[in-house]
A and B are shown apart, each in its own frame.
Chain A
Amino acid sequence: DSGVTQTPKHLITATGQRVTLRCSPRSGDLSVYWYQQSLDQGLQFLIQYYNGEERAKGNILERFSAQQFPDLHSELNLSSLELGDSALYFCASSPRLDRGLGGELFFGEGSRLTVL
């Protein structure tokens, strides 16, 4: 158990709909990262927050948005869903600001989104 909690574990919805994925980082971790993993693909970085503020942005679509709340949990909002958005969405947390400088990434178990 990494200590990172993601909900829901599974989600099935229709095209055009909007969903919200939730992540609770490990206790004390200030950074939250979101990744998308499509079927048999590698992890694609979407966005990072540190202590409530956006820190870095990856290949995140304009239809997607995220935020980190004062209690440090984060939500990823996906709107106007398309079939191609079906994927596993992972959240990871790290206590270090700059994830490259030795900070360990702890991943949640992911939220599997299926768009029909």
Chain B
Amino acid sequence: KNQVEQSPQSLIILEGKNCTLQCNYTVSPFSNLRWYKQDTGRGPVSLTIMTFSENTKSNGRYTATLDADTKQSSLHITASQLSDSASYICVVSAERGANNLFFGTGTRLTVIP
């Protein structure tokens, strides 16, 4: 069964600290993996997208990694800011099938001063 699981469900960190969010998936055959940031009550916004051959991709203070062998991805946030408070959603695409996009339930990150 194609699934995407994220951990932790929620996380509270101090401003300026780093954190790492995890995404494990069982989607097959794998096409790509995306991380989205969703501010409360807003639409998700894409942070990174990685294909099978990519191990890491950065977008400013956000760095995503992908291990296609273990089917794991992580999103590392460096020097967190208050504006990083949001839900981070991992989305994995399968290569085929009409419903080929699988969403994790997200990690809710709260950055406190």
Contacts and interface: CB of A to CB of B under 8 A. Distances in A.
Contact of B106 (A2, A42, A109, A112): A42
A73 B58 CA distance: 34
A26 to B, nearest CB: 12
Given A55-B98, A99-B101, A100-B101, A43 B44 contact: yes
Contact of B101 (A2, A45, A112): A45
Given A90-B43, A109-B43, A110-B42, A102 B51 contact: yes
Q: Interface extent on A, as a size class?
A: 20 to 34
A2 B93 contact: no
Contact of B42 (A104, A106, A109): A109
Q: Interface extent on B, as a size class?
A: 20 to 34
B89 A43 contact: yes
Nearest to A104: B46
A59 B59 CA distance: 33
A105 B91 CA distance: 11
Nearest to A35: B103
Contacts of B96: 98, 100
Nearest to A59: B99
